[in-house]
């Protein structure tokens, strides 16, 4: 006997709506009562690396990260009917990563029926609305795959059997960089631990990961690099520096507390040849509103940490591992600063810690 549609819907409801695994029927266990987490996995190659630069209003012309489709630009997109589906039911755009309305209401896709070859379908065609015309003829657009499907029981009369119309769409798609940036990759391989025992207990540590240990056994911090996955002994680690220097004449940690309205805070100067090893932001009291921070210097405020790697609305600890060496001759020219942009926040407290050699 086939699996019932109600069971399939329950599985999707729990997986998509609540990120939970289905372990029982809905009548026995509602979605909020499911206990096992089951989040959807996202391939690194699917990450929109520059999504933070997508404007909140759809641009009127193409940009470096957004391609626009409409009559004004002259490229309202002609779709292709999916011949493997029911007649006129499904149409493909042939391109992916459309910008959805979560980035702004003006990114809502528009759909038009017009004759094939129509130069201005947005002007001369018939607009088909997502909610339908009142005849159960709604459509659904998958912004990731670029597939349009008429999901209602009926088809709009403008593309029904007997017409020669085809489907055009108006919208915008993301054309920026995909995947994790070098900085983002570094952010996933830096760990801050209380002592070596907590290092040995963390099976998520991989070969090459950077480890800042607050107490390396002598009450002082040290920086290590893991020589293998899941290190369980000191022989599995390479010592980089200790608080006393570890062979470096400029090993130290800068720290400062900040709030939502701290503005610019000078953390300190480093000498020529100094290399920041880790940047840690510990949010002790979650921020409301839109406060953001970056850490760097007056030449490049995001040099050591960009705002996309810190969510100040969460009381969590965030870490990145920069890869930059300060080379100016004067210490005063190598000044590391914290830049706080208040936005509309009214509360929030955190601590920043920068470790360097």
Q: What is the pLDDT of residues 56-70, one digit of tens each?
A: 999 999 998 999 999
Last residue of a domain, one of 159, 174, 189: 174
Domain check: are 259 and 154 in the same one?
no
Q: Which residues, other chains included, contact 21 with Cβ-Cβ below 8 Å and sequence gap of 6+? A: 14, 15, 34, 36, 37, 38
Is 46 a member of any domain? no
Residues 243 and 161 placed together within one structural domain of the fold: no
Q: Once rounded to an integer, what is the mean pLDDT over residues 282-309?
A: 93
85 and 132 in a single domain? The answer is: yes
More confident position, 8 or 305: 305
Same domain, 169 and 222: no
Helix or strand (DSSP H, E) at 165: strand 165-174
How many folded domains does the chain comprise? Answer: 4
Q: Does some domain include residue 44? A: no
Q: Are 235 and 326 in the same domain?
A: no
User: Is 105 found in the same domain as 61?
Assistant: yes
**Cβ neighbours of 38 (radius 10 Å):** 14
Residues 188 and 272 in one domain: no
Q: Confidence band (pLDDT; 50, 70, 90) for 196?
A: very high
Is the backbone of residue 288 left (phi > 0), alpha (psi -120 to 50) or beta? beta
pTM over 0.85: no
Pair 357, 307 in one domain:
yes
**Residue where one domain finishes, among candidates 194, 226, 247:** 247
Tell me, yes or no, whether 55 and 170 share the same domain.
Answer: yes
Q: What SS3 state is found at 53?
A: helix
Whether 187 has a pLDDT exceeding 70, the answer reads no
Q: List pLDDT tens digits, range 200-213.
A: 998 888 888 888 88
Name the residue among 211, 209, 269, 216 with its Cα closest to residue 243. 216
Specify whether 21 is located in the same domain as 32. yes
Residues 150 and 55 in one domain: yes
Report the candidate in 180, 113, 172 with the shortest Cα–Cα distance to residue 143. 172
Same domain, 260 and 242: no
* Alpha-carbon gap, residue 245 to 239, rounded angstroms: 11
Domain ranges, residue 170: 51-174
Residue 294 lies in a domain: yes
Q: Return all residues near 159 (Cβ < 8 A) that are at least 6 apart.
A: 88, 113, 128, 150, 165, 166, 167
Contact predicate 139/158, CB 8 Å: no
The answer as to whether 295 is a domain residue is yes
Confidence band (pLDDT; 50, 70, 90) for 181? low
- Percent of the chain surpassing pLDDT 90: 50
Give yes or no for residue 139 having a pLDDT over 80.
yes
Average pLDDT, the chain: 87
Reading phi first (left if > 0) and then psi (alpha if -120 to 50, else beta), residue 157 is in alpha
End of a domain among 174, 197, 225? 174
Q: Specify the pLDDT at position 346.
A: 94
Q: Which two tokens stand for residue 18?
A: 């609540």
- pLDDT tens digit string along 103-126? 999 999 999 999 999 999 999 999
Specify if 43 maps to a domain: no
Residue 188 has pLDDT above 70, yes or no: no
Question: For residue 343, what is the domain's CATH number?
Answer: 2.60.120
pLDDT at 185 over 70: no
């Amino acid at each position: 006997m086939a699996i019932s549609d109600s069971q399939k819907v329950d599985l999707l409801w729990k997986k998509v709506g609540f990120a939970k695994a289905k372990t029982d029927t809905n009548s026995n266990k509602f979605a909020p009562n499911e206990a096992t987490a089951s989040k959807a996995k996202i391939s690194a190659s699917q990450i929109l690396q520059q999504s933070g630069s997508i404007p909140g209003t759809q641009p009127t012309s193409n940009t470096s990260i957004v391609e626009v489709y409409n009559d004004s630009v002259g490229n309202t997109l002609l779709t292709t009917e999916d011949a493997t589906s029911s007649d006129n039911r499904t149409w493909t755009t042939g391109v992916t990563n459309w910008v959805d309305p979560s980035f702004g209401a003006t990114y809502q896709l528009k759909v038009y029926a017009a004759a094939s070859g129509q130069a201005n379908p947005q002007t001369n065609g018939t607009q088909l609305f997502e909610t339908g015309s009142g005849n159960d003829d709604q459509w659904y657009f998958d912004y990731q795959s670029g597939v349009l499907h008429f999901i209602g029981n009926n088809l709009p009369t403008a593309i029904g059997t007997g017409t020669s119309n085809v489907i055009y769409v108006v919208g915008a798609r993301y054309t920026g960089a995909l995947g994790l940036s070098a900085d983002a990759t570094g952010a996933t391989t830096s760990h801050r631990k209380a002592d070596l025992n907590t290092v040995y207990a963390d099976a998520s540590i991989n070969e090459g990961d950077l480890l800042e240990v607050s107490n390396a056994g002598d009450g002082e911090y040290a920086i290590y690099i893991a020589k293998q996955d899941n290190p369980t002994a000191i022989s599995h680690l390479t010592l980089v520096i200790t608080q006393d220097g570890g062979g470096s004449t400029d090993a130290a940690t800068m720290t400062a507390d900040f709030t939502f309205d701290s503005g610019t805070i000078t953390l300190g100067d480093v000498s020529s040849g100094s290399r920041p090893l880790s940047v840690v932001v510990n949010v002790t009291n979650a921020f409301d509103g839109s406060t953001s921070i970056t850490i760097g210097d007056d030449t490049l405020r995001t040099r050591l940490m960009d705002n996309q790697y810190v969510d100040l609305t969460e009381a969590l600890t965030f870490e990145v591992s920069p890869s930059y060496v300060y080379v100016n001759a004067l210490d005063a020219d190598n000044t590391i600063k914290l830049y706080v942009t208040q936005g509309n926040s009214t509360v929030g407290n955190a601590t920043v810690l920068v470790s360097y050699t």
